[in-house]
Structure 1
Amino acid sequence: MLLAHDDEGTGPAVVLIHSGITDRGMWAPVLPALAASHRVVAPDLRGFGESPQPGEDYADADDVAHLLDALGIDRAAVVGSSYGGRIALELAARHPERVASLVLLNAAYRGLEVTDPDVLAFGEREDELLEAGDVAGATALNVDFWLLPEVPEAVRADVARMQRRAFEVQLAADEQDPPPRAERIDVDAAAIGVPTLVVSGDRDVAHHRDIARLLAREIPGAELVELDWAGHLPSVERPDEMAALILDRLDRLDRLGR
């Protein structure tokens, strides 16, 4: 299947992969700045936004590679937020020829066990709410856990809308026979062979800060930027600053010919 997506601007290609509590709409505040000098593609992964989740085997990384094929893009810089960061790493591991560089914003990563009590408690509570059929409660839990308190109410409402949509699509998909089955792709960070910027929010949960430091150590030549103001979703919290940071990284790579 072809992922729903935005495709704006011209120039070197950039793919923006959203977090697990949003969809491609999370990139709306940064997309115009990036599209002024780059071709920017922002997909909805399966089960998010406008992309369905049919009952079949799939891999998100393969879906992104297929989208690049359909758009005639051979190679792109890839920016991934949280869960999208994990998919960006899987794309670089599975289709290395398609990835020019990585920008990982508080990325998820299977290479580090979750021991953070806050994250474990969050996961247990989310499961309880969803098992009870309380989608609204699970949505509110995610918004409160992953967004900083000072994030404007309009932004919180937009994230809640995206998260609720994802829950509704994914819960309905699980009722299919057969249900969707995502392939597990394990990534060896030490084998990532492209320039990588790892961004960590000092106000994010401990688990994701630990992932950022681990990735920065293990990915050859990776650069770590720690933002003292940022929580888990810096591109939502301060989109202008994040657009500038991403553009600075992309411009440096473009000057070097990627």
Structure 2
Amino acid sequence: MTLSHDTAGTGTSNVLLLHSGVCDRRMWDAQFHALAEAGHRVVRCDLRGFGESPMDAAHTHADDVRDLLDHLGIERAVVVGSSFGGRVALELAARHPGHVSALALLASGTPVMQPSDELRAWGAREDAMIEAGDLDGAVELNVDTWLGPEAGEDARALVREMQRRAFEVQLAAPEECHPVNPGVTTEEIAGIDVTALVVSGAHDVRDFQAVADDLARLLPAARRVDLDWAGHLPALERPEDTTRLLADFLAEVSVLSPGASAR
């Protein structure tokens, strides 16, 4: 299966946007169009089990993303990942390094992340709501937890819609269609030798602030940026500021020449 996706722009530098686990590719509406207008070829996709990509078979997200890039004829891309999308970006860079030219990780998770007792308790609360059939309550729990104080009502409404869609798709899928853990290790993450931007929000859950600390230490070519206004989803909380941050990063990194950017 080819992941549902959109492309925009005709530039020779490729940018792939990977959404968070409470969202789908719609979370990148502002950045998708702005980066394309800035001269980049931009791709955004729904990971399997989100948005318009069904959870129809056992899968590894990093392999799905690799297959999408191959389908589009893109050899290498700057990969931008938000939260869970950051985890997938790291898995892609570890397992398919030839496809990744740089990383921008916004409030990223990692394949080796160990949740705190506080986050485990939060997850148990979400699970209890879902088991009780209270999807509305589970959706609101996610909206209230993952959006920072700068998020407006439009952002909250969009996350509400995207999270509900993810619940509906994933809860309908049989166990045999669930994702397979690729087993990426800390050592493999430390071996990802591409320029990386590691972004953390001051209002984010502490687990993800700790992940940013770890990534800034582990990745050999990482630059850390702390946003004093951000929660967990800066791309939705302050879209223009996040777009500017990403555009500046893309201007800094070395990109492929026109002749090598696509097969």
TM interval, short-chain normalised: over 0.9
Change (3 A) 1:50 1:192: same
Q: Kindly state the Cα deviation for residue 62 of structure 1 after the two structures are TM-superposed.
A: 0.5
Q: Which residue of 2 aligns with 1:182?
A: 180
Q: Which residue of 2 aligns with 1:143?
A: 143
Contact 1:116 1:207 in 2 (8 A): no
Contact 1:197 1:224 in 2 (8 A): yes
Distance 2:120 2:65 in 1: 30
Q: Kindly state the Cα deviation for residue 254 of structure 1 after the two structures are TM-superposed.
A: 4.0
- Which 4+ stretches in 1 moved above 6 angstroms? 255-258
Deviations 1:22-44 (A, max 9, x none): 00000001112101110000000
Q: How does 1:1-258 map to 2 (within 5 A)?
A: 1-11=1-11, 12-36=13-37, 37-54=39-56, 56-115=57-116, 117=118, 119-174=119-174, 178-187=176-185, 188-254=188-254
Aligned-CA RMSD value: 1.6
TM-score (norm 2): 0.92
Distance 2:177 2:31 in 1: 34
Which blocks of at least 5 consecutive residues in structure 1 are unaligned?
A: none
SS state at 2:207 partner: helix
Contact 1:116 1:206 in 2 (8 A): no
Contact 1:105 1:200 in 2 (8 A): yes
Deviations 1:180-236 (A, max 9, x none): 342333243211111111000111111000000110001102110011111100011
Distance 2:54 2:229 in 1: 35
Which is further off, 222-231 or 105-114? 105-114
Distance 2:86 2:255 in 1: 24
TM-score (norm 1): 0.94
Distance 1:255 1:13 in 2: 8
SS state at 2:208 partner: helix
Give the number of aligned pairs.
254
Identity, % of aligned positions: 52
Contact 1:48 1:165 in 2 (8 A): yes
Q: Kindly state the Cα deviation for residue 255 of structure 1 after the two structures are TM-superposed.
A: 7.0
Which blocks of at least 5 consecutive residues in structure 2 are unaligned?
A: none
